[in-house]
Amino acid sequence: MIYMSVDLGLARTGIAVSDESGGFAFPNSVITEYNTEKLIEKICEKAKELNPGKIVVGLPVNMDGTKGERAVTCEQIAKKITEKSGIETVMWDERGTTITAHGYLNENNVRGKKRKQTVDAVAAVIILEDYLRSLK
């Protein structure tokens, strides 16, 4: 089964996808959209293109494990993605993924505009890799 992951952001949303075996995750794209309803539409269009069996949505819980306003918003968006796409969504703890993504980009000397356009897709890969590991 192919899995797709979504790292929801206020301006940029990262998308990653797995191979058919669910063994590897790859960055796919970054959607730049400020309007939530348009963002949901674009995510559903991406899902139609990639045809995943499941969509993993990053859940930005606080470091102490509690859910803040952003986590609740992400859960609401995930529910709407399921309703519009017909594809099951799963929430996945994304604590530290953006920091880890920045670390990977530092190691590979990715800077400037390219970094800004890449970090969200890399964070989506990390979310998806964590989820796929949990299935094994």
| CA nearest to 13, candidates 54, 73, 67 | 73
For residue 69, CA distances in Å to 61, 63, 75, 104, 109 come to 9, 14, 10, 28, 34
Q: Which is more confident, 63 or 72? A: 72
Q: What is the pLDDT of residue 121?
A: 81
Q: What is the DSSP letter of 108?
A: T
The overall average pLDDT reported for the chain is 87
Per residue in 69-104, pLDDT (tens digit) is 999 999 999 999 999 999 999 999 887 666 665 565
* Cα separation values, 18 from 7, 40, 54, 59, 75, Å: 14, 20, 10, 19, 22
User: Residue 5: what pLDDT?
Assistant: 97
Q: Which amino acid is at 115?
A: R
Lowest mean pLDDT among 74-83, 114-123, 126-135: 114-123
Share of the chain above pLDDT 70, in %: 83
Residue 32 has pLDDT above 90, yes or no: yes
Number of domains in the chain: 1
The boundaries of the domain holding residue 91 are 3-135
3 state DSSP class of 93: strand
CATH of the domain at 19: 3.30.420.140
